[in-house]
Amino acid sequence: MNDADFAKRELRRQILAGRTRLPWEDAETAPLVLSRRARDLPEVAAARTVAAYVSVGREPGTRPLLDALREAGTRVLLPVLLADDDLDWGVYGGADSLRPAARGRGLLEPAGPYLTPDAVTEADVVLLPGLAVDAAGMRLGRGGGSYDRVLTRLAAAGAAPALVVLLYDGEVLPRVPAEPHDRPVTAAVTPSGVHRFTARAERAETREQS
C-alpha cells in the first residue's frame, strides 16, 4: 500500500464515522434539498440521460432526485454490479422496479433489461457516489474501483458528461489524497450549496502528462 492509498483509507474511515454521527433530522432532510439543488444545475436540467445510483445507508439520499428526473422525462440509468466489480446499466422504472443486488452489500439495482457497461457513455450527466471532494474537484470514492472503470470508459469513448457528486456539508475539503488515475468532477452538491470545479479537463490532462 502506497502513501496515497493509506491516506485515502484513513480519510474514508473518518468520513464514514462522521456520517454515522449525523443527526437523524439532517439525514432525513438532505435528500430533498440535494434533489432540488441538483435539478437546478443547468447540466442536469438540460440532460436527456443521467447515469445515477440508488443511495444506501447514510449516503446522501438520491431517491427524490431519481424520481424527480424520471417524472420530468429524463432517462435515468442505474448501475448493476458485475462479478468483476465493473458496472452494467439499466433504466430506472420507478421505486417498484428496484430489486436487491445479486451481490448483496445492501445495494438496490434496476430489474432489467441491462444495456451493457458502455451504456454510461450515452449519459449527459454522471452522478458519482463519493465521500469527499477537494478544492481542485478531486473526489474520494469508497475504494471499490467500479467508478474508476466508468471514468476510464468515458475517457476512452471521448465522452465528456458533467460529473456530479452529492455530499453532506463538511465533506468539501481543502485537499483529498489523489493518484494519477483520479479524475476531477464538475460539481459537488451539498445541502448548503453547489461547488463548481470548472477547470477539471485541464487538470486531468496535466495529471496525465506529469
Per-residue pLDDT, 67: 98
pLDDT of residue 204: 39
User: What are the 10-residue block averages of pLDDT along the chain, 210 residues in total?
Assistant: 83 96 92 97 98 95 97 97 95 94 83 94 98 96 91 96 97 92 94 84 37
Structural domain boundaries in the chain: 3-209
Q: pTM to 2 decimals?
A: 0.91
pLDDT of 205 reads 38
Indicate the fold that domain 3-209 takes in CATH: Rossmann fold (3.40.50)
Residue 50: beta bridge partners?
76, 125
Instruction: Give the pLDDT confidence score for residue 101 in this predicted structure.
Output: 86
pLDDT at 1: 60
- Strand-pairing partners, residue 172, are 133
Contacts of 156 (CB under 8 A, 6+ apart): none
Report the relative pairing of strands 187-190 and 162-166 from DSSP bridges.
parallel
Radius of gyration of the chain (CA): 16
